[in-house]
Amino acid sequence: MRGELIGVWSEMWRGIWLPLIEQPLDENEEGVPADIFCELYRELAKALKRPTDDSAIVLLVEDAVTLKEAFELSAHRSGQQLVLEQVDEAFSQSGATELIHAGERRTAVEAALTTLLGQPAAPLLDAQLHELVQDPLRVEAARRRALERIINDQQKSREAFENTRAEDLAGERALVGFLESVPDALKELDCNDLTNTYFDLLAVFIEKFSLRYDLCPPCRLCPNLPGVFVSLVRNLQALAATDPHLDTLMKEFENAIRNLQHDCSEGHIKTCIQKQVNLLEAIGGTYPGVKDGELGSMCGQIKSWPHPAVRAALGNLYGFASSYPGIRHGGNAESALRNVDMRDLVAISIVFAGFTPYLSNGLDADQVYRGA
């Protein structure tokens, strides 16, 4: 489990939104206001990805204003001397604005444009749409008109809300912002009981899926400590995946951890620690200005430390891995106070992982805490 809300967005319809609208608000069996999804989708739209490339072209085609504009500019692009009224009439007769799907609309205007010009119009229309989509103000205006059409219609707003997929969302942080804004949206409906019900449903949902947040009044989703650590490891995996060498070392460390399930002997624990130090050295080697290959020397070359004591802490841990017999080197048997065991595997692997944000500029600590 990633512990993120966006990973279980598809479960929220049954876990939060349906229970929210299906139970009566009071003893008189009064239900929720019919326009609840108008308010919810108004807020959800703020968490959606902005349309780009093909999705932006679809948006322009679905918008009556920009579709007509594309038709007129395509006609002008042909170089033919056409009367404006003639172009307007051709667009009107295409019936494109009466159609629902973008593909049908585009086919209709293309056919009308071909008839108007007496030549295949697909290249002209394609070129014009790709030019229009480069204008962010025009795309944003079309997006706002599309939003208004949805939130002013109870049925459309519910359908749009229900059909929103996790991949449509701008990310975990955007989704958190939406969920935190829901109480204010519900207050617009003048239903305090609905706000309380939503809070309770969200709390149960977070508990059920073991998500990385604590829900605090009035409705704040605060990352918790286990969630931050899980996020750190996941971001570390993503960083390693960008480089073949790092990826190999990350997989070797993960495999060593998995092998403890079958053999948690001292030798295997030492292997885990050794594999993790190898990974840290490879990560530290990506830090600007680092020239040495050993973690102990890197500590003096890395400039991200908040205090010398933090730098010394990692250096001392590296000293343990280097001098304890059988981890990185033969070591000094007399320096060992006892055999390493699972206490050391748990403690040292977590502590070593905690130092990784200092070793690489590729780890965004704010993203680790708040989500992408």
The model's pLDDT over 253-262, given as tens digits with 9 standing for 90+, comes to: 999 999 999 9
Sign of the alpha-carbon dihedral angle for 171, 144, 136, 66 = positive
Sign of the alpha-carbon dihedral angle for 194, 197, 203, 209 = negative
Average pLDDT over residues 210-214: 94
Note if the pTM is more than 0.95: no
Judged on CB neighbours under 10 Å (0-12, 13-18, 19+), 73 is middle
The model's pLDDT over 260-311, given as tens digits with 9 standing for 90+, comes to: 999 999 999 999 999 999 999 999 999 999 999 999 999 999 999 999 999 9
Q: Are 359 and 370 in contact (CB under 8 A)?
A: no
Percent of the chain exceeding pLDDT 90 equals 89
Say which DSSP state 336 is in.
-
Indicate if the pLDDT at residue 323 is higher than 50: yes
Indicate if the pLDDT at residue 29 is higher than 60: no
Indicate if the pLDDT at residue 1 is higher than 50: no
The model's pLDDT over 218-229, given as tens digits with 9 standing for 90+, comes to: 999 999 999 999
The model's pLDDT over 180-202, given as tens digits with 9 standing for 90+, comes to: 999 999 988 877 689 999 999 99
Indicate if the pLDDT at residue 27 is higher than 60: no
The model's pLDDT over 50-108, given as tens digits with 9 standing for 90+, comes to: 998 899 999 999 999 999 999 999 999 999 989 999 999 999 999 999 999 999 999 99
